[in-house]
Amino acid sequence: MSAFQPLHALYLLAGGAAVLALRAGLRYAIRAGLAAPRIAETAGPDSLGLTFSTERIPTANGKHLHAWLIPPKAGVELAATVIVLHGWGGNAQMMLPLAQPLHEAGFAALFIDARCHGRSDGDSFASLPRFAEDAEAACDWLAARADLSGGRIALLGHSVGAGAVLLAATRRGEVAAVVSVSAFAHPADMMRSWLANKRIPRWLAAYILGYVQATIGFRFDDIAPVASIARLHCPVLLVHGEHDDVVPVADATRLHAARAHDRVELLTLPGDHESFEDMAGEMKTIIAFLRSALPPIASDMAAIPADHRFRGCAPMLRL
């Protein structure tokens, strides 16, 4: 045996180990670079003078969500319960500007922190599908609180949270309506744009997109809001800022074009990704949409022909 053969084998082993170490380092860097920042709440609904309770809601993987439950205004008939979900790196406090108008209009509101956000439990990673799982966990929790929803639940989400509530609604027949604020159309397009702005080479961007899909366990095409909205059968309101420089308003137009029915409305407003110039006025529009989208209360259902009754957001299954 040549003396060079053992050395050659050692070189191969060392090279293989270096490649594995490089790949592990790259994957660690991807996770660290894409991880959502965790920002804990510093104020709650009491800062607005609202009565509320703090809840812990069980979700997937044995984790729990932090939530604030705000009942409707005393003396006002309960309209429905709205589950409110923040965006990437956000928390429930950031969505509190919606609380007072919903409260005054007779809606109960459940403001949740997604996993790895706010005061909720951490997990191995956060993703749009996991945001959607957390919205579904909130639906399950409300199902045991019929005094709050009476079977009338609406979902409202911002940015990634908007994509998540659209996805969650495709699986939940009890959801009466969805309000999507600043949603992107497709996560792959969003990530490519973000990576390009970071001057990430195309070959590395392609690797990152593949790695992320393998990690979250879903193809982007299957969880994209543009795919979800094509499967929804309940009223949807798409709200988007005309000067959004994070998610272009063209994404909202694309979502609207992909709708499965005519009960999907598009509302573009002066504002950016995070806020609108006339929030009070726009909340009146959102509340009017929710009222028009809600099914009749249970006591009125008997008077409605069976084939005209509300069937929720999820697609109807035909056997």
Q: What's residue 230's pLDDT?
A: 98
Q: Which of 152, 175, 181, 221 is nearest to 315 (CA)?
A: 175
pLDDT at 279: 79
pLDDT tens for each residue of the chain, 319 residues long: 555 566 555 555 555 555 455 556 656 667 676 788 999 999 999 999 999 999 999 999 999 999 999 999 998 888 899 999 999 999 999 999 999 999 999 999 999 999 999 999 999 999 999 999 999 999 999 998 867 756 689 999 999 999 999 999 999 999 999 999 999 999 999 999 999 999 999 999 999 999 999 999 999 999 999 999 999 999 999 999 999 999 999 999 999 999 999 999 999 999 999 888 777 788 999 999 999 998 665 544 444 344 434 445 766 333 2
Note the CATH number of domain 47-186+224-295.
3.40.50.1820
For the chain, the straight-line distance linking the first and the last C-alpha, in angstroms and rounded, comes to: 69
* C-alpha–C-alpha distance, residues 80 and 97, integer Å: 18
pLDDT at 183: 98
Q: What is the pLDDT of residue 319?
A: 25
Task: Assign residue 199 a region (left: φ > 0; alpha: ψ between -120 and 50; beta: otherwise).
Answer: left
Q: What is the pTM of this model?
A: 0.87
Annotated domain spans of the chain? 47-186+224-295, 187-220
